[in-house]
A = this chain, B = another copy of it.
Amino acid sequence: MEPLSQREEQVLDFIVREYIDTATPVGSKTLTEHCGLGVSSATVRADMGRLEKMGYLTHPHTSAGRTPTPLGYRYFVGFLMRETALPLSERRMIEHQFHQVDRDLEQWIRLAGAILTSMTDTASLVTAPTARRPRFKRAELVRISEANVLVSIVLQDGTMRRRIVSLSASQTQDPLRATAEELNALLADLTGEEVKTRASNLTSTQAQLAEEIADLMAQANLPHDLELHRYGFANILRQPEFAAAEKVERVVGILEEPGRLESIVAEIALSRAGVQVVIGGEERWPQMRDFSLVLARYGAIRRTTGVVGLMGPLRMPYNRNVPMVSYMADLMSRLVRERYT
């Protein structure tokens, strides 16, 4: 693939920006008129033809203007859109809102989602920060009935899990409390796998409970247990590209299928640091064909990390949304570090 000439880049750049703005295919004439490129429409047409052959643009049909392909957007995000910092005034406004709110994780998450959604007019995604390799902190055993015990565990990152377990030997509350204390001493600060191996050395009731605990800890790491909070999906549907009914179904389908978005988000955001932009699913997630994700990890690196980001149509203002997500991730990181260390 030969590299793009400077003018071709300018043309692509303008088409992407214009299309993001107007949602209508942009033709050679409007292009030459609106951007001060000193060439005629015919020249631009030739460039457009080449860009199309290289896969950066498409036609909806003969005789409509060009629209960017996912590849075109990717080129734009990678090479053309120089990333600018979020304006100070907006940063101030956001921080102000965080100061208004209780120092409470759940509230931060909700606020982050609400701010992202309202400032970008697309859907936002936020997870709570969790430890990469969670470590056991404490377990609590509550007798619910004859043989049934509610096992609730707290991990070092503050994550909680619970499950009702049927014990093979029934116990009253007092011995249970003793068992819990023993387990807490034995398992403190262990990872899930370590709990599991430790379990094999224990006796009946304790062994059973330890295995349940190991299982709960393993579950906490599964992507579909990520607890991905979603906000503002109605905004996506307001975009003109989702006027068609079958597109709407695709949105709702992705929204609903349990664990689908979670695993995609986990894979993307946890793979690398910095803002990740995934446009149109990139062969890896065909059901995301019509969507772009702008995600960033936040938290204390190598310890507790969460994800914030956006999901929207391909045609989204990347040059605004990327700095937005980037700033929000920084802010959340700062908050988490202040709180958890």
Please report A residues at the B interface, Cβ cutoff 8 Å. 103-105, 110, 137-138, 140, 142, 144-145, 148, 150, 152, 154, 158, 160, 162-164, 166, 231-234, 237-238, 243, 245, 248-249, 252-253, 255-256, 258, 339-341
Contacts and interface: CB of A to CB of B under 8 A. Distances in A.
A256 B232 contact: yes
B237 A164 contact: no
A160 B158 CA distance: 13
A138 B140 contact: yes
A213 B32 CA distance: 66
A166 B104 CA distance: 10
Contacts of A231: 256
B249 A237 contact: yes
Given A145-B340, A154-B150, A249-B234, A162 B160 contact: yes
Contact of A238 (B104, B243, B249, B258): B249
A150 B142 CA distance: 19
How many identical subunits does the complex contain?
Answer: 2
A158 B103 CA distance: 26
Contact of A341 (B145, B158, B233, B341): B145
6 contacts: A138-B140, A152-B152, A152-B154, A160-B162, A234-B249, A248-B248
Contacts of A140: 138, 140, 154
Given A233-B252, A234-B253, 17 more contacts: A104-B163, A104-B164, A110-B258, A137-B142, A142-B158, A144-B339, A144-B340, A145-B339, A145-B341, A148-B339, A148-B340, A152-B160, A160-B162, A164-B339, A234-B249, A237-B249, A252-B252
Given A158-B144, A164-B158, A233 B249 contact: no
